[in-house]
């Protein structure tokens, strides 16, 4: 190989190396990210209970535990692993319970989603000198998608996305009304053996009475109604609504 040919070969090699290096830079472009904290909050109705003056029939409800299992959290296209389960009955003075943290691309992210795969709650309801205990478990997965909120993540900053659980929905007397009544009396009356404990079997044996299931089929007893209401407790950032649909676990 003569000197001229050698110089041409070296020049081509250097050009190819430069092109390859540029390609590597493009492939490894750094995406700016910030930290997102996912929280779960049951508001005062779970942490402090639902007072009698908030119930239309004068019962007061308190929770000993309210355990939610949350999965499939997705914000900004990032799937965020979550521990399972978490009890949200403890007092947080409004700050909620931290569920997970993750690195999420900088920007404003709309329509987050998540799923509640299980709810287990126990507590008591009291009216006058009567107290009824309950211990309920709902195990059908509810997917909450297209949630009505925006989460802004900034570079090297911490943002928060809150899953808000509305326990009062469990005691609404309608699945379709925008202004349902909050009541407990029918659940209390379902305690057929009057031992102070309301069981799933007793609710399955109780008819709907004045409860309104709307057009939903297969809801012909209080347990089925309560199960359907449990699929509406998920919100975001307080009052933000989501599109909800269920699937078996």
**Does residue 89 contact residue 137 with C-beta atoms inside 8 Å?**
no
**Does residue 139 contact residue 89 with C-beta atoms inside 8 Å?**
no
CA–CA distance, 34 with 75 (Å, rounded to integer): 12
**pLDDT tens over the chain, length 249 residues:** 554 443 434 444 444 444 444 444 444 457 799 999 999 999 999 999 999 999 999 999 999 999 999 999 999 999 999 988 999 999 999 999 999 999 999 999 999 999 999 999 999 999 999 999 999 999 999 999 999 999 999 998 899 999 999 999 999 999 999 999 999 999 999 999 999 999 999 999 999 999 999 988 889 999 999 999 999 999 999 999 999 998 877
Place of tokens 């993540």: 153
- pTM, 2 dp: 0.86
> Which DSSP category does 181 fall into?
P
Chain centroid to Cα 114, Å, comes to: 6
């Amino acid at each position: 190989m003569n000197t001229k040919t050698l110089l041409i070969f070296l020049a081509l090699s250097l050009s190819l190396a430069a092109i390859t290096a540029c390609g590597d830079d493009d492939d490894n472009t750094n995406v700016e990210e910030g930290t997102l904290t996912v929280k779960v909050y049951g508001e005062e109705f779970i942490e402090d209970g639902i007072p009698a003056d908030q119930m239309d029939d004068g019962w007061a409800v308190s929770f000993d535990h309210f355990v939610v299992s949350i999965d499939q959290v997705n914000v900004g296209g990032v799937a965020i692993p979550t521990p399972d389960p978490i009890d949200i009955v403890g007092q947080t003075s409004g700050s909620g319970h931290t569920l997970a943290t993750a690195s999420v691309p900088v920007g404003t992210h709309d329509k987050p989603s998540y799923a509640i795969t299980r709810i287990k709650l126990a507590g008591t309801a009291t009216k006058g000198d009567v107290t009824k205990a309950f211990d309920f478990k709902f195990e059908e997965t509810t997917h909450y998608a297209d949630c009505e909120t925006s989460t802004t993540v900034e570079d090297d900053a911490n943002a928060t996305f809150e899953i808000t659980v509305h326990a009062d929905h469990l005691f609404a007397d309608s699945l379709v009304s925008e202004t349902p009544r909050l009541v407990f009396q029918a659940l209390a009356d379902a305690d057929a053996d009057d031992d102070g404990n309301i069981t799933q079997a007793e609710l399955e044996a109780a008819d709907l009475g004045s409860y309104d299931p709307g057009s939903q089929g297969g809801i012909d007893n209080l347990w089925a109604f309560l199960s359907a209401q449990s699929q509406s407790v998920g919100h975001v950032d307080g009052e933000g609504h989501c599109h909800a649909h269920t699937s078996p676990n």
